[in-house]
Amino acid sequence: MNQLAFSDKIVFVIYFLVVASYGYWVYQRKKKAVTDTHDFFLAEGSLTWWAIGASLIASNISAEQFIGMSGEGFFVGTAVAAYEWIAAVALIIVAVWFIPIYLKNKIYTMPQFLKTRYNETVALIMAVFWLFLYVFVNFTSILYLGALAINGLLGGGHLHEIMIILMVMALLITLGGMKVIGYTDVIQVAVLIIGGFATVYMALAIVDQRINHVEVGNAIRGFKTLMGQAPEHFQLMLHKPSVHTTTINHPENLNVQKFVVLPGIAMYFAGQWIVNLNYWGCNQYITQRALGADLQTARTGILFAGLLKLMMPIIVMLPGIAAFVLYKNGQLPGFEGSKDGAYSAILAFLPSGLKGLAIAALTAAIVASLAGKANSISTIFTLDVYKKYINKEAGEKKLVLTGRMTVIVSMIIAIVFTWQDLLGIGGEGGFTFIQKYTGFISPGVFAMFLLGMFWKRTTASAAFVGVILGFLLAIFFNSYAVPLFGKETWLYTAYEYQKMGKAGVETIVEIPFLINMGWSFFFTVLTMIGISLAGPKVNPKAFEIDGSMFKVKPATIVLIVVTLLLLSALYIKFW
């Protein structure tokens, strides 16, 4: 820890001891988690609304946001905040319309939903898809990006040791079950927010100090400096580039690269909603927090998380923009302009003590996210694969033991694949890597869930075709559409640009992946509707839905209105 002062180490150790002690206390209070599967996997009925909301945020805000989104803030700017701000609306939709259906039908896992609504074949296919996605995309990227960032702060040379330490910390929390995860996440999210805001404040003060050459930096003045020095970084809607083919020296080359990641207003009619509604509403990793609670507690917790999401871009995006302005003005010596290194470059400026708090916040986010992901992997494998197909007679103790072994095995796999970055996470950029490869299964999954919930005619055959077709269409649009149909069609525009890679200048031709997701979802839904029309008017396995399920209390309406008003103000300001 050669870049950390003694005070930084003390702050970090205090954080670790507090979280570990509190987690152990929660575990000791209810040892039923050792033998009770519902309590181990869901903390059934014991999480309060604030614990649910905090756990949702702590599990969501991880290295993907701190490192990946800060990197996109460095590269693109405010436009990347759409992922966070549209998530607030997605959480309202999930709280009002999705959660009542899950709770009324006693759904505890997403494969269970698919088995109840469709059949076991669809459920098994999706269980396998989710396990691969969680282990090889989410788990690995969170571990790699987190270790990379902390390693940079420690001066380098500790990447593998940090990976192991992060996994051990996550393992200690995960083995206590969902209740320990949920309640320790309250501390994690508090550290995350306090440390995150402290980092932003200092970053803005440093910008003011370095750029305006003042002795004592002022955060407000620093923010104004950011807006003045990088006005293009404060535009929510990116304009379509004037050309579709560029070389590395072309003035529009950088704009093309940005537009491919965030294709302006078009993404709001395509992938942005699929990304968010699938993530927040059809994702074991997230919905698991609310599935053990009653409806009002679950709704309030989810809406509380939505309010917290509105502030997240301040914490995770502004440091990236600050890094861009400092880099542009030659104030980041030794920094090579790598997106995923932007957050670490800013943290290096922090004074002793505060740097320890910032690292604690980053570690809190990483560990909470790893623990939550591990619990979901464990839940899906144990309840939806092991119990149903491997050992149908397994008792409670055996299932919990299997769940814990699954956690350990998944962590070992993740470490193996991140040890030398075998998946190329660093080359893609962490945030883009996760969004892009999650997008291969999101269209089919979301189509299957949406039609399964709200259209009683949807059949199991349609769901089976939908999940496979959505995956194949995503691959088709990503890899084969341009060679077959060219760069310009009525469905899409493909962009050709150049960037520096490990082997030198690389030429890339691609359709924006959010547009790919939109078309994959559209054609999947059409196909599923066509197949279902050949079946009965009401599928025997359709869920019973009535209007009373979706009624909300006045307090819930107030939360929704406040969230929408704040979101509207943000979009009006930065449009």
Rounded CA-CA distance 503/497 in Å is: 16
Distance of CA 113 to the CA centre of its chain: 22
Rounded CA-CA distance 143/373 in Å is: 11
pLDDT of residue 184: 60
Helix (H) or strand (E) holding 508: strand 504-510
Rounded CA-CA distance 373/377 in Å is: 6
Closest CA to 152 of 428, 346, 322: 346
The residue ranking higher by pLDDT, 574 or 335, is 574
Q: Give the model's confidence band at 457: pLDDT under 50 very low, under 70 low, under 90 confident, else very high.
A: very high
Q: Residue 259, CB half-sphere, CA atoms under 13 Å: how many?
A: 25
Closest CA to 231 of 112, 360, 321: 321
499 has which bridge partners? 506
- 442: tokens are 């999101």
How does the average pLDDT of the chain come out, rounded?
82
pLDDT of residue 443: 92
User: Is pLDDT of 223 > 90?
Assistant: yes
pLDDT of residue 22: 66
pLDDT of residue 34: 46
- 500: tokens are 């520096």
How far the first Cα of the chain sits from its last, in Å, is 42
- 222: tokens are 């620093």
Least confident range from 224-233, 339-348, 426-435, 501-510: namely 426-435
- 146: tokens are 């987190």
Q: What is the mean pLDDT of residues 264-290?
A: 82
Percent of the chain residues topping a pLDDT of 90: 26
User: Is pLDDT of 208 > 90?
Assistant: yes
Q: Give the model's confidence band at 326: pLDDT under 50 very low, under 70 low, under 90 confident, else very high.
A: very high
Q: Give the model's confidence band at 345: pLDDT under 50 very low, under 70 low, under 90 confident, else very high.
A: confident
Task: Decide which of 1.25.40.10, 2.40.50.100, 1.20.1730.10, 2.60.40.420 is the CATH code for 6-574.
Answer: 1.20.1730.10
Q: Give the model's confidence band at 568: pLDDT under 50 very low, under 70 low, under 90 confident, else very high.
A: very high
User: Is pLDDT of 37 > 80?
Assistant: no
31 has which bridge partners? none
pLDDT of residue 1: 41
Provide the residue type at 220 as one letter.
I
pLDDT of residue 352: 77
Rounded CA-CA distance 336/371 in Å is: 32
Q: What is the mean pLDDT of residues 258-270?
A: 86
* The dihedral sign for the CA sequence 323, 326, 331, 334: positive
Q: Is the pTM of this model over 0.75?
A: yes
Q: Give the model's confidence band at 421: pLDDT under 50 very low, under 70 low, under 90 confident, else very high.
A: confident
Radius of gyration (C-alpha) of the chain in whole angstroms: 23
Helix axes 354-379, 178-212, angle to 10 degrees: 140
Q: Give the model's confidence band at 380: pLDDT under 50 very low, under 70 low, under 90 confident, else very high.
A: confident
pLDDT of residue 532: 96
337 Cβ contact list (under 8 Å, min separation 6): 327
Helix axes 82-93, 554-574, angle to 10 degrees: 160
**Cβ contacts of 243-247, under 8 Å, gap ≥ 24:** 244/487, 244/488, 244/493, 244/494, 244/495, 244/496, 245/487, 245/495, 245/496, 245/497, 246/496, 246/497, 246/498, 247/498
Q: What are the structural domain ranges in the chain?
A: 6-574
Q: What is the mean pLDDT of residues 92-98?
A: 93
Q: Mind listing the pLDDT tens digit for each residue in 436-453?
A: 777 888 899 999 999 999
Q: Mind listing the pLDDT tens digit for each residue in 57-85?
A: 776 776 667 777 888 888 888 998 888 89
